[in-house]
Chain A
């Protein structure tokens, strides 16, 4: 579904992603781990259009998408959450979700200016869909709160909810469990599985190994921008090079 081939991205002299190749398989949860500064977020930024790789190809559903702008990637069917929470803090919770639907709404500017019937119906559907999604992630009661007033863990859930609103085929999660307590992490684990059941494939960055072991079908390890290892979670856990990278990095 998503194939990344030999992607390299440089920040001046620093090679943040060095010849990285990987694949996100249909209907699976793919994990991406690595020590701090390994280049994981940068890799997400390449896929999601924030950066254009200096070299390499990103192929989504048979089409090369490297060099697309973020809004185009979202429209194409890949949406994401952010490591540093990136919500519209003053907007209400449900409004954040409807903004996430942007690329799926078809009303024109004139429809909007004159509130045509088509626009009203679309808005009504969007609102109902947002409530459905909020229910799905367990934030329905908070729908009218300003997003910025939510707890850290709930803001992470809202980011996921907002990302789901564009009906993505692939969801990129950048450390969704950061700042969550144990209960919230368990709920997140369940939520990810439910998301995959909806037909959305997931690529997830996460430092919590326990969570990762339970979730990922397949894993990639980045170290100093380079792919260090890949394989099933158990293989990765017992891979000496991976253990070395983590211990050496601490």
Chain B
């Protein structure tokens, strides 16, 4: 018990230090005049939330989705279009669009929840394609089609977050809120039900879990997360076009998740950070992006089944053991 308390306190300390570093990072980046980093960090924030959403449905409840770009699109276009026509503040339109995506996610999961793995992946690919086509060739060009769609930045009490550096704290705050919600969810009755379904859906059913409803719920919550990230993307970049919401984006989410580690607290963070930085480093080779994701996925499947975070944990466990041996 005492040990546990000690661990809890030292964990708190670690969390506080990380938070402090994150809070002071913009100052540091400004001092060294590395403004471009804000762009990358903003995307990292956005992707952490999007990938966390995918983790809920794929990592925790074991349902594949190769169409999460669609939820990203619904969040982005939903919020941008809603804001244009109603002038409701951007933050609200982001939340409304995320709820819309949750409803659509539930609607997709309702029939799809009966499908097994590979059929579910086909159904989600089809869904992603449908949304992409709707966005790219919308009726009355409501989405701006291939020309794209310009939109406003997030504004807080009239203060516009219209640069990447101003977006920073909003992005950080959103990440913290969403990660906290995800963590709460996983450590609750709902999260246990998700994991139980992934582990053994027959037994879950027998233990009183309405498997279908929970699968639908997982999709809805997942869609909410990813769509909110889509909204962040739209109002951070202030311009969206169909390119961003192609099949490739869904693969990117999955790559990040698998590479970082599924069903874990830090997997989506590790994944988003490493893949985005890699992307930046390999900017010149954009043509080969899908190839690179493919290679990353292979590495994960063959060498790092737990993803980066899993590997990190293994190493940490080994170090701890060594420490004990020394005593």
Residues of A within 8 A of B (CB): 48, 50, 69-71, 74-75, 79-80, 82, 86-91, 95, 98-100, 102-103, 105, 107, 109, 111-115, 119, 123, 162, 166
Report how far A204 CA is from B209 CA in the complex, Å: 24
Which of B190, B204, B211 touches A109 (beta carbons < 8 Å)? Answer: B190
CA distance A100 to B208 in the complex (A): 7
| B191 contacts the other chain (CB 8 A) | yes
Known: A88-B200, A88-B203, A112-B185. A98 touches B208 (CB 8 A): no
B210 interfacial contact with A, CB 8 Å: yes
- Give 8 nearest A-B pairs by CB, closest first: A103-B208, A112-B188, A74-B208, A88-B199, A86-B203, A102-B208, A70-B205, A115-B184
A71: which of B188, B210, B217 is its contact (CB, 8 Å)?
A: B210
Q: Give the tally of cross-chain contacts (CB within 8 A).
A: 90
Instruction: Determine the residue in chain A with the shortest Cβ distance to B190.
Output: A112
- Nearest B residue to A109, CB-CB: B190
Considering the complex, give the chain B residue whose CB is closest to the CB of A69.
B205
Distance in Å from the Cβ of A245 to the closest Cβ of chain B? Answer: 30
Q: Which residue in chain B gives the minimum CB-CB distance to A147?
A: B199
Are B191's CB and A112's CB within 8 A? yes
List B contacts of A71 (CB < 8 A).
Answer: 205-211
* B205 & A88 in contact (Cβ 8 Å cutoff): no
B185 CB contacts on chain A under 8 angstroms? 109, 112-113
Contact in complex: B195, A91 (CB < 8 Å)? yes
Closest B residue to A99 using CB positions = B196
**Nearest CB of B to A77, in Å:** 10
Interface residue ranges, B against A (CB under 8 Å)? 181, 184-185, 187-193, 195-196, 199-200, 202-211, 217, 221
B192: which A residues are within 8 A, CB to CB?
91, 95, 98-99, 102
Q: Are B209 and A102 in contact (CB under 8 A)?
A: yes
Q: Contact between A88 and B196 (Cβ–Cβ < 8 Å)?
A: yes
A74 touches B207 (CB 8 A): yes
B203 contacts across to A, CB distance below 8 A:
82, 86-88
Which residues from B are CB-within-8-Å of A88?
A: 195-196, 199-200, 203-204
In the complex, are the beta carbons of B188 and A162 less than 8 A apart?
Answer: no
Across the interface, which residues of A come within 8 angstroms of B189, CB to CB? Answer: 102, 105, 107, 112, 123
A145 to chain B, nearest CB (A): 15
Give the Cβ gap from B186 to chain A, nearest Cβ, in Å. Answer: 9
Of chain A, the residue at the smallest CB distance from B202 is A86
A79–B207 Cα gap in the complex (Å)? Answer: 7
Whether the pair B188, A107 counts as a contact (CB closer than 8 A) is: yes
Does the CB pair B217–A109 fall under 8 Å?
A: yes
Please measure, in the bound complex, the distance between the C-alpha atom of A82 and the C-alpha atom of B208, giving whole angstroms.
15
Give the complex CA separation of A70 and B206 in angstroms.
5
Is the Cβ of A99 less than 8 Å from the Cβ of B184?
Answer: no
**Interface hub of B189, B190, B191 (most chain A Cβ within 10 A):** B189
Contact sample, A vs B, 21 pairs, CB 8 Å cutoff: A71-B208, A79-B207, A86-B200, A86-B202, A87-B203, A89-B199, A91-B192, A95-B192, A99-B207, A99-B209, A102-B192, A102-B196, A102-B207, A107-B189, A112-B184, A112-B190, A113-B181, A119-B188, A123-B188, A123-B189, A166-B208
With the chains together, A91 CA to B189 CA distance in Å? 14
Q: Please give the distance in Å from A10's CB to the nearest CB on chain B.
A: 21
Cα separation A115 to B181 with both chains bound (whole Å): 8
Residue of B whose beta carbon sits closest to that of A95 = B192
- Beta-carbon nearest neighbor of B199 in chain A: A88
Chain A residues near B181 (CB-CB < 8 A): 113-114
Output the least CB separation between B191 and chain A (Å). 7
Contacts of B195 in A (CB 8 A): 88, 91
Alpha-carbon distance between A69 and B211 when the two chains are bound, in angstroms = 10
Which residues on A sit within 8 Å (CB–CB) of B190?
Answer: 109, 112
A217 to B210: give the CA distance in the assembly, Å.
34
- Is the beta-carbon distance between B207 and A162 smaller than 8 angstroms? yes
Contacts of B209 in A (CB 8 A): 71, 99, 102
User: Which residues of chain B have C-beta atoms less than 8 A from A123's C-beta?
Assistant: 187-189
Q: Which of A86, A112, A114 has the most CB of B within 10 A?
A: A112
Residues in chain B near residue A90, CB distance under 8 A: 199
Closest B-chain residue to A165, C-beta based? B207
Residue of B nearest to A122 (CB): B189
User: A86 CA to B203 CA in the complex, in Å?
Assistant: 6
Give Cα A226–Cα B184 distance, bound, in whole angstroms.
51
Closest beta carbon of chain A to B158's beta carbon, Å: 28
Could you say which residues of chain B place their CB within 8 Å of the CB of A114? 181, 184
* Given A109-B221, A162-B207, A166-B208, 10 other A-B residues pairs in contact with their CB atoms under 8 A: A71-B205, A71-B209, A74-B207, A82-B206, A86-B202, A88-B196, A99-B204, A99-B207, A100-B207, A114-B181
